[in-house]
A and B are shown apart, each in its own frame.
Chain A
Amino acid sequence: MISLQNVSKYYPTRFGPNYILKDLNIDIPDDRDIAILGRNGAGKTTLMRMIGGIDFPTRGRIVSDRFISWPLGIGSGFNGVMTGRENVRYVCRIHGVKDIKPVEEFVRDFSEIGENFDLPIGSYSSGMRMRYGFAVSMGFDFDTYLMDEIMAVGDADFKKKCSDTLKNKRETSNIILVSHNMDNIREHCNAAILLAYGRAEFYESVDQAIYRYMRS
């Protein structure tokens, strides 16, 4: 369970505190795949970053005993000067994975970027970077995967591969997905959180959430 307790987040601006989220109380169950819905600026990405532990609530706390992935898809923590291989090693070291070789091989095969794997990430196209980032996160066994608009790029083949892998992963772990593509959400999620009017609401049914989102 990922439990958000009285979570508020604001950024100080010259007009005073700009609240993104205010007093959120939500429990995210372990056995559901969650979509986060909301308009631009509703705080979807901020919420993702806070669940992913790379941003912090101004008030309140987020409690969880699960292994949560880094938020995929937003400007990630890779280093553009280092090669794909070096970045995989870097991520392995951070996560305490001692046996690096299999992960390297997995990412190389899964991302289908061939020789580019040994070239600096900065030289990748955005599609390649997305494939690479997705492949790296699939190389680790997290309990919860956070994904922010990651299925927006990539060709049809790769999208299909992503979908299949995600379906496999969902048997052992769950995902939290931010997307503006309702088909993606319907395909991968079975619960939703709607961020609107400065509040968050948990929906057991995705269709209901999408219905409300369209009219918010």
Chain B
Amino acid sequence: MQVRSAFAIQRDVIFAIFIREISSRFGNNYAFGNVWLLLEPLVLMTVFIILFGFRDIATLGNIAPPVFIVITYVPFRMLWSSTMKKAMGAAGARGLFGFRQIRLFDVFLAHALIEGGVYLTVKSIILTTLLWFGLDALPSDPLLFLGYAATLWLFAVFFGILACMVSRIAKEVEKIINIMTLPLLLMSAVIYPITVVPAQYRNFFSYNPLAHASELLREAWIEGYVSPIADFEYLATWTLVLMAMAMSAYRLNWRWVIAT
């Protein structure tokens, strides 16, 4: 045995969980095995794009409907929903805590990295496919878009950690959050631009940080679009507050959360 620094241990553990998760999530029970890690979100996204993207829906500028759906729905579904739920359920993976090196936070980090990586890969595949079909599917400001996507991802991670901690006190929290997924999708300007909402109700939508995320992603993607509600500071403040709360809740609670 070799003495390692705390940082080295954490790096090794995250890598180990990463590989374990990738090789066991679908594992040997599925005919296509690990390919499902990408195939599952790809199929989901494709179905949704076909359902909504080839109808006459409200878009902005000269953006084609399928591209319009891809801009916001893929981040919402993968960066927000999946990442948040993975973090929320991380404490349930009892089997992981059989080694002293593995702490709950490593599991959070590993899951967050996997979800982020899967998002980048799936998004690239979808965009390539759309480009293949002759649609203009490139962001006007890719770096800004990635920055906003990363903020949404952090928002989801910390929200999930906080939910995981709070659900120790009341398990119902998980139920409520799961029920809220669909209403949130409808309230967060994901499959429609905020401009279709009458001006007097936009104020109400602008309390929702996820609506800001959607609109910011659109601003970065669509040339010349200025959203009436988008405010990066608002989203960033939410993320920072969630981070502070998630970290303190974790610090106070982590022993109890993984107690058998």
Contacts and interface: CB of A to CB of B under 8 A. Distances in A.
Contacts of A86: 23
Given A54-B98, A96-B4, A79 B20 contact: yes
A95 B97 contact: no
Contacts of B98: 54, 70, 75-78
A54 B24 contact: no
B9 A96 contact: yes
A106 interface: no
Nearest to B12: A96
Given A82-B23, A93-B19, A95-B1, A52 B100 contact: yes
Contacts of A202: none
Interface string B143-182: 0000000000000000000000000000000000000000
B8 interface: yes
B14 to A, nearest CB: 10
A153 interface: no
Interface string A59-80: 0000000011010000111111
Nearest to A56: B255
A94 B259 CA distance: 21
A211 interface: no
Interface size on B, as a range, is: 20 to 34
A81 B102 contact: no
B8 A96 contact: yes
B224 interface: no
Nearest to A51: B100
Contacts of A143: 1
A197 to B, nearest CB: 24
Interface string A111-138: 0000000001000000000000000000
Interface in B74-116: 95-102
A140 interface: yes
B23 A68 contact: no
A53 interface: yes
A70 B99 contact: yes
B28 interface: yes
A87 to B, nearest CB: 9
Given A52-B100, A78-B98, A86-B23, 5 more contacts: A70-B100, A79-B24, A79-B95, A81-B27, A82-B27
18 contacts: A11-B259, A54-B97, A54-B98, A70-B100, A76-B98, A77-B99, A77-B102, A78-B95, A80-B95, A81-B28, A82-B23, A89-B19, A90-B20, A91-B99, A93-B19, A94-B13, A95-B101, A120-B27
